[in-house]
Each structure stands twice: as structure tokens, then as C-alpha cells.
């Protein structure tokens, strides 16, 4: 096994498929890399080599092992997430406990074939965005040791970026799954609150906490996300999307993305970051996005509520008993922050909640004009020296574009967006309403691939975006026709114009108030197909659309010229008897144009 093996999921799948390597080979290579460098500050504890190899060999003997979505994939785990067999410390040795079972998400990943390597360093009790508040040392960006790695999930990001794991789990309350991604050139997925179970996770702010995913590509993050997601009855905050929550018809065509006005952007003197963000905006426009200037002050106000409001009391509630007995054994900066909870009352908490509700309503107005929000993940990056001199103010700066996301119940994907002249990476975040993870990852993948060579498969979900139903229309619902508004009123998006498979006939129905055709399949007819438009509609809108279809038409299925099957209009056989066949025109538009010409 070559030590230079690439750990992205696509490369490992090819190795396993070709027989060039086995999971045990890959695990051995990872542990060879671990042995070649000190564990600290990236790792707090590591699964024993032989135990990891035993897991790998067991997978190899499993007849269904190779079809598991994460077969033989090594991963790392933030040390505030339980892994049976290793202590959970949240980067505070005095807090350590031995979990009886792994966190729900960890177990889901193991069941999907992934192999845990160990527990990674972090800002103690997930309190911070710099990655420097740990007794195990401060991680650095893999691009320059003088600069911070970002936190709180510092070790998880560095483990992936330095080739010690294919992906890693972190947590994200105010940006901890996105800032380290930006500082280490990674993709960072911050899912919707409750979409991934937090059972078995040491809480930071329990009402806001999310498990996050660090990966090398968006497709890798999507694979991990798919394996990890699901409702968990053991987590009181677990939830699943309702019909329509995941709908992103905008992914199939033109979309709008929000950007703050220049007066509301903040780069803290980092001109290179400002220039890279401007380039990212241009790149998004080149992908078909329409730039919309929004009022970022609403989102900033929500972020300020978190940094200066009573949510710190949740941090205190999470470890209250420990703090009352062992506060002196905590990192002094972390201790000072959490002890600040004592100055807030229940009245303060309710007052802040009322303010947040008003801000959420104001944010909903902003979302009416955009599909995605495009922001810098951070305005700048700091050196270890700078953070040591002003730990709290600089940490606050790092959350300028991240703190509001969980408070406003949004999902986000951090993705690389170029590098400064000195080689330090810059990243942006794509943000959208809850349960938009798949659509965000798909768009982020396009953005990522537009600027660099990205390994693995393209994550293209545009053919039928998440939460949508594809519908083929052949007549009065076509673009420019009188009933097209029944699609656009339901936020449907045109995907393509194509033809049906051979074997369809088209008839002009008689007596309809609005002229309509009937698309009928004839197994004994070998035609060239009928022209149709394929639209994608949010699934929660499809019921009312179908309910509005009047006899003799109904909703059924149609086969397209590429072999795919989509929903479409069908017709009762009795209506065909008195109808005029217009199949020879090839489509409704051509028929109408010919009919007008001959009048």
C-alpha cells in the first residue's frame, strides 16, 4: 500500500473495486501516517491500531460489506461526541467519562461501513471559533503553522486536511463546523438543527447544536450526510422534514443569491479576502445565479444576540454540576465565558427570545427575494500570536458571518473559494432555509468544481431537485400557454424541453374551454415521440395541482426519450373517440402554429 494514497471517497471506492487495496490496507496506511507524527495537538485519543484493523477485516469478510455506502472509509470524531471504547472529554481531562455506547450518528456511520480512527482536539466544551482553547495544544492551519486552524472542531478539520481521515464529525453551534473548513481548504456541512441526532454529544447550547461534517468534496459530504441522517427518538430535538421542506426547484435553472451591500461587509482589514469574495460572487453569477442585494443587518442582529445574549446560559446548564466542583480545572478563557451566564435572568432569556422571533420574521421577508445567501465564511484569518493577545474580540470577529445561522434555523455549506497570494485559503458559505442541505451541497459542488479540479463524482441533483416531483406537460401548461401559471404559481421550475419515448400519440380534444391536447401511449405505434416540457414542482404543491386537473384528463406517468419516467397528463380513452389526431405535428406548439397559418 502506497503511503500517498488519497482518502477521498471516490478514490477509495476505485481502489476497493479494482482490488488494488482492501480496507485493512487503507487503515494500515492511515496508522502509519499517525505513527510518523505526534498525536497532539490534532488527536486527543486514538482507537488502537489492531482494533481498527480488526474492524476492517470483519468488513472484508462481510458478504454485503462492499455495497455499504461507507465501506472501509476511515473517519475522525470530535471529542465531544461519544465513541464506545474511548473516553469523551470535550478537551477537558477532568470531565472525562467512558460512554457505554457510541453516539447515534457515530453508530449509523459505523453501520454504513465507516471505520473510526479516533477522537480529535477541540476548543474546550466547544466554546470558541479559533481552535486555541485546549490543554492539548492549539491546532494550526495545514497551510501555515503560524495561523490558527479555526474551531471549535479544530482537530477534526486538520485530520481530514492532512490526510489522516476521509471525513470527520464536528459540532456547530455558531460556526464551529464552517470556520475550520475555511481555514483548511475543506467542505464543511452544517445541517439543519435536529436533522442529525445529537444523542451522545456533550451539549454546548443544546437548542442550537448541530453535528457537522468535514470532507474533501461536496459529494463526500452528501454520502456521509445520507448515511447519518434520520429521526432519533432518543434525541428530544431530533426532527425530520415535512413535505416541501427540502424542495429546491431553483436548483434546476436560474436562481437568485443574496449578498450584503458593501457597507455591511466586514473583512477586518483583509483586502485579499475582500477581493476573493468579489470573485466568488462573479463565479456564482457565471453559474447562472442572479445577484440580489439584501439587508444583512437582520442576520447580523441575530448573530449579535448570540454573542452578547443569554444563550451562554445553555453552556452553563450543560456542565453546571461539573463547573460547581471543578471550575478551576477548566481553560481560563472558557471558564470566564461560561461563568458569564450568571449575569442573565429568566427575564433576559424570554426578552431575547422575543427579539429573535421578530428577527426570524424579518429574515423570512428577505428570503422571499433569494434562494441562497452567499457570504464569506470568515472575514479574515488570524495568527496564533494575534489570538493570544486578544482571544475574545478576535473570536467574536470570526463569527461575523456564522453566528446567526442556527438561531434563524438555516442550513449552510462552507466551500473553498480560492487562496490569498501568501497561500492561505479563503472560503465562502452557501446558506438557505432549514432542510436545504442536499440542494446546497449540489450548488456548492458546482461552485467548487468551477475553480479547481475536484476528485470523485459530480453531485448533480438538478434533474429532479430534492423535495420536488418532475412533471411533463405537452399542451396548455407549456411555457407561454394559458395554463402555465398553474406551474409557476406553485414555484415550479422548467428543467428541459425534450420528447417522449417513441409510441405516443397526440390528440386535440374537442369542447374544452381552453384548447388542450391528450397524450396517449400506443404500444403498437412506433413514432418519433411528442415534444414536452419537464418541470419540477415542490412536492407539497403537487397535490393541489393534481386536484385541479379536470376530466377527461388525469395525472399518470410518461416515459421520456432518455428512458426516464415522470408524471404527466393522461386521458380517459372515451375522450379520444371524438378527438382529432395531431401526432404528425410532433407537438402542441407546432400544431397551433400550423392551425393559425391555415386559418
pLDDT at 595: 72
Q: Check if 9-239+373-449 and 468-597 are the same fold.
A: no
Reported as a single tens digit per residue, the pLDDT across 20-65 is 999 999 999 999 999 999 999 999 999 999 999 999 999 999 999 9
| 225/428 Cα distance (integer angstroms) | 20
Cis amide bond preceding 552, omega within 30: yes
In the predicted structure, residue 130 carries a pLDDT above the cut 90 = yes
Report the C-alpha gap between 581 and 518 in whole angstroms.
9
Quick check: 138 pLDDT over 60? yes
Distance separating alpha carbons of residues 273 and 473, to the nearest angstrom: 46
In this predicted structure, what is the pLDDT of residue 1? 43
pLDDT at 598 over 60: no
Domain 468-597 CATH class label: alpha beta
Beta strands 531-538 and 468-473 are: antiparallel
- What is the pLDDT, as a whole number, of residue 299? 98
Helical residues (DSSP H) of 309-430, grouped into ranges: 312-318, 320-326, 332-339, 346-367, 384-389, 391-398, 404-407
The pLDDT-based confidence of 564 (bands split at 50, 70, 90) is very high
pLDDT at position 42, please?
98
* Residue ranges of domains in the chain: 9-239+373-449, 468-597
pLDDT for residue 2: 46
Confidence (pLDDT) at 307: 87
Residue 243's pLDDT is 95
Residue 507 pLDDT class (50, 70, 90 cuts)? very high
Determine the Cα–Cα distance for residues 411 and 402; give it in Å rounded to an integer: 11
- Give yes or no for residue 116 having a pLDDT over 60: yes
Calculate the average pLDDT of the chain.
96
| % of residues, the chain, pLDDT over 70 | 99
CA distance 468 to 470: 7
Task: With a cut of 60, say whether residue 179 has pLDDT above it.
Answer: yes
Mean pLDDT, residues 101-116: 98
Q: Say whether pLDDT at 3 is over 80.
A: no
CA distance 463 to 500: 16
- CB count, 10 Å around CB of 577? 8
DSSP summary character for residue 139: -
With 50 as the cut, is the pLDDT of residue 336 above it? Answer: yes
For 9-239+373-449, CATH gives 3.90.1300.10
Range with the poorest average pLDDT among 3-12, 23-32, 114-123, 291-300: 3-12
Question: What average pLDDT score do residues 530-550 get?
Answer: 96
Residue 266 has pLDDT above 60, yes or no: yes
Q: With contact defined as beta carbons under 8 Å apart, do 106 and 82 qualify?
A: yes
- Sign for the CA dihedral angle at 380, 383, 386, 391 comes to positive
Cα separation values, 89 from 56, 79, 119, Å: 26, 6, 9
Q: Secondary structure of 449-498 in the HEC alphabet?
A: HCCCCCCCCCCCCCCCCCCEEEEEECCCCCCCCCCCHHHHCCCCEEEEEE
Amino acid at each position: 500500500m502506497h503511503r500517498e494514497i488519497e482518502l477521498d471517497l471516490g478514490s477509495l471506492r476505485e481502489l476497493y473495486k479494482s482490488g488494488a487495496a482492501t480496507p485493512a490496507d487503507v487503515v494500515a496506511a492511515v496508522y502509519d501516517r499517525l505513527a510518523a507524527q505526534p498525536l497532539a495537538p490534532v488527536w486527543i485519543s486514538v482507537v488502537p491500531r489492531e482494533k481498527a484493523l480488526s474492524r476492517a477485516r470483519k468488513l472484508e469478510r462481510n458478504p454485503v460489506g462492499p455495497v455499504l455506502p461507507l465501506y472501509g472509509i476511515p473517519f475522525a470524531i470530535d471529542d465531544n461526541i461519544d465513541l464506545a471504547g474511548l473516553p469523551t472529554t470535550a478537551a477537558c481531562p477532568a470531565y472525562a467519562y467512558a460512554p457505554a455506547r457510541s453516539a447515534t450518528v457515530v453508530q449509523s456511520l459505523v453501520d454504513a461501513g465507516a471505520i473510526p480512527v479516533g477522537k480529535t482536539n477541540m476548543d474546550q466544551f466547544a466554546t470558541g471559533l479559533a481552535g486555541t482553547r485546549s490543554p492539548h495544544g492549539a491546532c494550526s492551519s495545514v497551510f501555515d503553522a503560524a495561523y490558527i486552524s479555526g474551531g471549535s472542531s479544530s482537530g477534526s478539520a486538520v485530520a481530514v486536511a492532512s490526510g489522516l481521515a476521509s471525513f470527520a464529525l464536528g459540532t456547530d453551534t455558531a460556526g464551529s463546523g464552517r470556520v475550520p473548513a475555511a481555514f483548511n481548504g475543506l467542505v464543511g456541512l452544517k445541517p439543519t438543527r435536529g436533522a442529525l441526532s445529537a444523542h451522545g454529544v456533550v451539549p454546548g447550547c443544546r437548542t442550537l447544536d448541530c453535528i457537522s461534517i468535514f470532507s474533501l468534496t461536496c459529494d463526500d459530504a452528501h454520502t456521509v450526510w445520507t448515511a447519518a441522517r434520520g429521526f432519533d427518538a432518543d434525541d428530544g430535538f431530533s426532527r425530520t422534514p415535512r413535505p416541501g421542506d427540502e424542495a429546491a426547484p431553483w436548483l434546476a435553472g436560474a436562481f437568485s443569491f443574496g449578498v450584503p451591500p458593501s457597507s455591511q461587509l466586514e473583512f477586518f482589514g483583509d483586502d485579499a479576502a475582500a477581493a476573493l469574495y468579489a470573485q466568488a460572487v462573479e463565479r456564482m453569477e457565471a453559474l447562472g445565479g442572479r445577484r440580489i442585494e439584501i439587508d444583512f443587518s437582520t442576520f447580523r442582529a441575530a448573530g449579535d444576540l448570540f454573542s452578547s445574549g443569554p444563550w451562554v446560559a445553555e453552556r452553563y446548564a450543560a456542565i453546571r454540576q461539573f463547573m460547581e466542583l471543578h471550575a478551576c480545572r477548566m481553560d481560563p478563557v472558557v471558564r470566564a465565558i461560561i461563568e458569564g451566564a450568571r449575569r442573565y435572568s429568566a427575564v433576559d432569556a424570554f426578552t431575547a427570545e422575543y427579539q429573535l422571533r421578530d428577527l426570524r420574521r424579518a429574515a423570512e421577508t428577505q428570503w422571499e427575494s433569494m434562494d441562497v445567501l452567499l457570504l464569506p465564511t470568515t472575514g479574515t484569518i488570524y495568527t496564533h500570536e494575534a489570538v493570544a493577545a486578544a482571544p475574545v474580540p478576535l473570536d467574536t470577529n470570526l463569527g461575523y458571518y456564522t453566528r446567526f445561522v442556527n438561531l434563524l434555523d438555516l442550513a449552510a455549506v462552507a466551500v473553498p473559494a480560492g487562496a490569498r497570494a501568501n497561500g492561505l485559503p479563503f472560503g465562502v458559505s452557501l446558506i438557505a432555509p432549514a432542510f436545504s442541505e442536499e440542494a446546497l451541497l449540489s450548488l456548492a459542488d458546482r461552485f467548487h468544481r468551477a475553480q479547481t479540479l475536484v476528485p470523485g463524482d459530480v453531485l448533480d441533483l438538478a434533474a429532479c431537485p430534492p423535495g420536488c416531483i418532475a412533471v411533463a406537460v405537452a399542451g396548455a401548461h407549456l411555457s407561454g400557454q394559458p395554463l402555465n401559471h398553474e406551474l409557476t404559481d406553485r414555484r415550479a421550475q422548467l428543467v428541459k424541453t425534450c420528447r417522449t419515448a417513441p409510441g405516443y400519440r397526440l390528440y386535440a380534444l374537442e369542447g374544452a374551454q381552453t384548447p388542450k391536447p391528450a397524450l396517449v401511449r400506443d404500444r403498437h405505434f412506433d413514432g418519433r415521440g411528442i415534444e414536452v416540457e419537464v418541470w419540477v414542482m415542490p412536492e407539497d404543491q403537487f397535490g393541489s395541482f393534481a386536484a385541479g386537473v379536470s376530466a377527461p384528463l388525469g395525472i399518470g406517468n410518461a416515459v421520456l426519450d432518455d428512458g426516464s419516467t415522470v408524471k404527466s397528463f393522461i386521458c380517459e380513452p372515451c375522450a379520444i373517440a371524438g378527438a382529432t389526431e395531431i401526432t404528425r405535428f410532433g407537438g402542441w406548439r407546432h400544431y397551433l402554429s400550423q392551425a393559425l397559418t391555415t386559418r
